[in-house]
Amino acid sequence: MKKLLALFGLDPVWDVADWKQWWSTRLAALQVALGGAAVAFHTLPPQWQQELPDWLGVALGAATILVGFLTPPAAAAVQPKLKK
């Protein structure tokens, strides 16, 4: 696993407490999940889309964009608890 991560230039997280502090990573994962849900919504058959609320597709897209704007500042923020 270490070699696979090193291939992509990634270092494994050995301390779970550190993972909880990485807001940029958590927001990026949320953005991917929301984006996937938005794509899945728009690829549903029209009959299924009619049964769901009209605002759902717009809300998923808007939430994806909003989280996308929040991710870079979270990555740039200094988090004293992560300094060793």
- What mean pLDDT is reported for the chain? 80
**What pLDDT does 18 receive?**
63
**What pLDDT does 60 receive?**
93
Q: Which residues contact 71 (CB under 8 A, 6 or more apart)?
A: 24, 27, 28, 31
Find tokens 């979270």 and name the residue.
74
What residue ranges of the chain have pLDDT lower than 70?
1-2, 5, 8-21, 75, 77-84
| Amino acid occupying residue 13 | V
Q: Where do the structural domains in the chain lie, given as residue ranges?
A: 19-82
**Exposed, middle or buried by CB within 10 Å (0-12, 13-18, 19+), for 68?**
middle
**What pLDDT does 63 receive?**
93
**What pLDDT does 3 receive?**
75
**What pLDDT does 1 receive?**
62
